[in-house]
A and B are shown apart, each in its own frame.
Chain A
Amino acid sequence: AIQLTQSPSSLSASVGDRVTITCRASQGISSALAWYQQKPGKAPKLLIYDASSLESGVPSRFSGSGSGTDFTLTISSLQPEDFATYYCQQFNSYPLFGGGTKVEIK
């Protein structure tokens, strides 16, 4: 089964910082990747699908890129409401999530 490895597992950043989170697939998955944001005590929220398509209503400071095995979620200017845990997800026989990246306040 394809595995998803996210890095880093956590990071500290300041408001206004540019933040990049990486998701690596153990084999090529074209652009079949989604990104979710989860705040404490809340359900995950879809941010990006098809590796780079922004879900409706999601701020444009979020962007996704990549294809094959290496993918990136970028927050261009971190806002206070962006402190959360982020997960990537792909489908290979069944949906599978990465381990998550927690973005904390520096």
Chain B
Amino acid sequence: QVQLQESGPGLVKPSETLSLTCTVSGGSISSYYWSWIRQPPGKGLEWIGYIYYSGSTNYNPSLKSRVTISVDTSKNQFSLKLSSVTAADTAVYYCARGSGYDYLDYYYYYMDVWGKGTTVTVSS
């Protein structure tokens, strides 16, 4: 059974870079899309971006200028870097496994395995 675990600092200073890693266990990182999603306190879900195991990426346009997602297949890990953080980046950050396919001009995509989430606070 595939499991995901987020890790990284729980406190980041404003203007610095948030760095998180998601470790995939119980299965290979090969195939699938590997996403980061966040949830500010009391608010809804915001998708940040994903990386395919081959290295291709897709980012939320609203965060694209500050986000980098990378993958290390040898360690079965993928990582998130979010630069120039502010208090608005305070959230629970989740990693998730996604699957997708094209059918008749539409793209079907869903995330079926999620990590438990890690809380990141941006504060001096």
Q: A residues engaging B (CB < 8 A)?
A: 29-32, 34, 36, 38, 42-46, 49-50, 55, 87, 89, 91-100
Interface assignment of B31: CB less than 8 Å from any CB of chain A: no
Chain-A contact segment, one of B15-23, B68-76, B77-85, B111-119: B111-119
Residue contact B47 to A34, C-beta cutoff 8 Å: no
Residue contact A32 to B107, C-beta cutoff 8 Å: yes
Residue contact A91 to B117, C-beta cutoff 8 Å: no
Q: B residues engaging A (CB < 8 A)?
A: 35, 37, 44-47, 49-50, 58-61, 94, 96, 98, 100, 103-104, 106-112, 114-117
For B103, what are the chain A residues with a Cβ–Cβ distance below 8 Å?
Answer: 30, 32
A-B contact count (CB 8 A): 71
For A31, what are the chain B residues with a Cβ–Cβ distance below 8 Å?
Answer: 106, 108
Residue contact A43 to B116, C-beta cutoff 8 Å: yes
Residue contact B44 to A97, C-beta cutoff 8 Å: yes
Closest 5 CB pairs of A and B: A91-B109, A34-B110, A43-B114, A49-B110, A30-B106
For B115, what are the chain A residues with a Cβ–Cβ distance below 8 Å?
Answer: 43
Residue contact B114 to A44, C-beta cutoff 8 Å: yes
Partner of B47, one of A46, A55, A94: A94
For A91, what are the chain B residues with a Cβ–Cβ distance below 8 Å?
Answer: 100, 107-109
For B47, what are the chain A residues with a Cβ–Cβ distance below 8 Å?
Answer: 94-97
Partner of B104, one of A30, A50, A55, A95: A30
- With A44-B114, A45-B114, A96-B47 already in contact, the answer to whether A32 and B94 are too (CB < 8 A) is no
- Shortest Cβ distance from A1 into B: residue: B61
What separation, in Å, do the CA atoms of A95 and B110 have in the docked complex? 8
- Shortest Cβ distance from A29 into B: residue: B106
For A99, what are the chain B residues with a Cβ–Cβ distance below 8 Å?
Answer: 44
A-B contact pairs, 16 of them (CB 8 A): A31-B108, A32-B107, A42-B116, A45-B114, A46-B111, A50-B110, A55-B112, A87-B44, A89-B45, A94-B49, A94-B58, A94-B61, A95-B109, A97-B44, A97-B45, A100-B45
What separation, in Å, do the CA atoms of A93 and B58 have in the docked complex? 9
What is the minimal beta-carbon distance from A43 to any residue of chain B, in angstroms? 4
